[in-house]
Amino acid sequence: MKKLTIKDLMNIGIFAALYFVCVGIGTLIGALVMHSGHMFLAPVFAALISGTVYMVLVAKTKKFGAITLVGVLMATFFLLSGHFFFAFIPSLVCGVLADVVAKMKHYQSNTVNLISYIIFSFGNLGPIILMWVMEEAYVQRLIEKGKDATYIANVMVPFNTNTVLFYLVTISIAALIGGLFGQHLMKKHFVKAGMI
């Protein structure tokens, strides 16, 4: 197995930063669509617009560990941004799983890389899953920050079958579209320009 080089780590850092920006934009778009501070749609829009960054990262490195490291960096961000420890886990787990899947075809298969990206995109559910598994603690944290009952009711994402199915379907579709678009751009521009 080829090891990551210093150049690879630098590329990973750059693409992790770009991915972080895409997630931030996705969160902003989701908030604007919901007309509130609600993060309900943030993972969906993040999956939709981050595909190009993900696909170019995979194509440029083609080594195990690159996807995992981006997942670790996103997980660390969730942890350091004031969420409980559990918010760290989904990004970490999805990053490793996505890396394992892409490695099965040596990062060369467009189809397998798409599946990898779909898996990776579920990592952004960390803060929302936290609301589900630690609801009381999450609400208490908001109260300690001075948030009132109206705000809390507005930002909490309900845990029910419909919500879970919604995320399974919409994130998968958004990641598929975003990944396909990323592969198209990569082939049309990056490969032709000799960047990959």
- Summarize pLDDT for 77-132 with one digit per residue, the tens: 877 776 666 777 889 999 999 999 999 999 999 999 999 999 999 999 988 888 88
Q: What is the pLDDT averaged over residues 145-160?
A: 80
Q: Are 99 and 64 in contact (CB under 8 A)?
A: yes
Q: Angle formed by the axes of helices 66-80 and 110-121, to 10°?
A: 10
Q: Would you tell me how many other CB atoms lie within 10 Å of the CB of residue 2?
A: 10
d(CA 50, CA 166): 20
What would the pLDDT profile of 7-58 be if each residue is shown by its tens digit? Answer: 999 999 999 999 999 999 998 898 888 766 567 888 999 999 999 999 999 9
**In residues, how long is the chain?**
196
Q: Is residue 178 predicted with pLDDT exceeding 60?
A: yes
Token pair 């961000």 in the structure block, residue: 77
Q: Is 181 exposed, middle or buried (0-12, 13-18, 19+ CB in 10 A)?
A: middle
Which is it for the CA torsion 99, 12, 78, 47, positive or negative? negative
Most confident of 133-137, 177-181, 184-188: 177-181
Q: Note the pLDDT of residue 32.
A: 85
Q: What is the pLDDT averaged over residues 138-161?
A: 80
Q: Note the pLDDT of residue 83.
A: 63
d(CA 116, CA 102): 6
Q: Note the pLDDT of residue 38.
A: 65
Distances 86 to 15, 40, 54, 70, 92 between C-alpha atoms, Å: 25, 18, 24, 18, 10
Which is it for the CA torsion 6, 10, 13, 16, positive or negative? negative
Q: Is residue 173 predicted with pLDDT exceeding 90?
A: yes
What residues have CB less than 8 Å from 8, skipping those under 6 apart? Answer: 61, 63, 66
pTM: 0.88
Q: What is the pLDDT averaged over residues 139-155?
A: 79
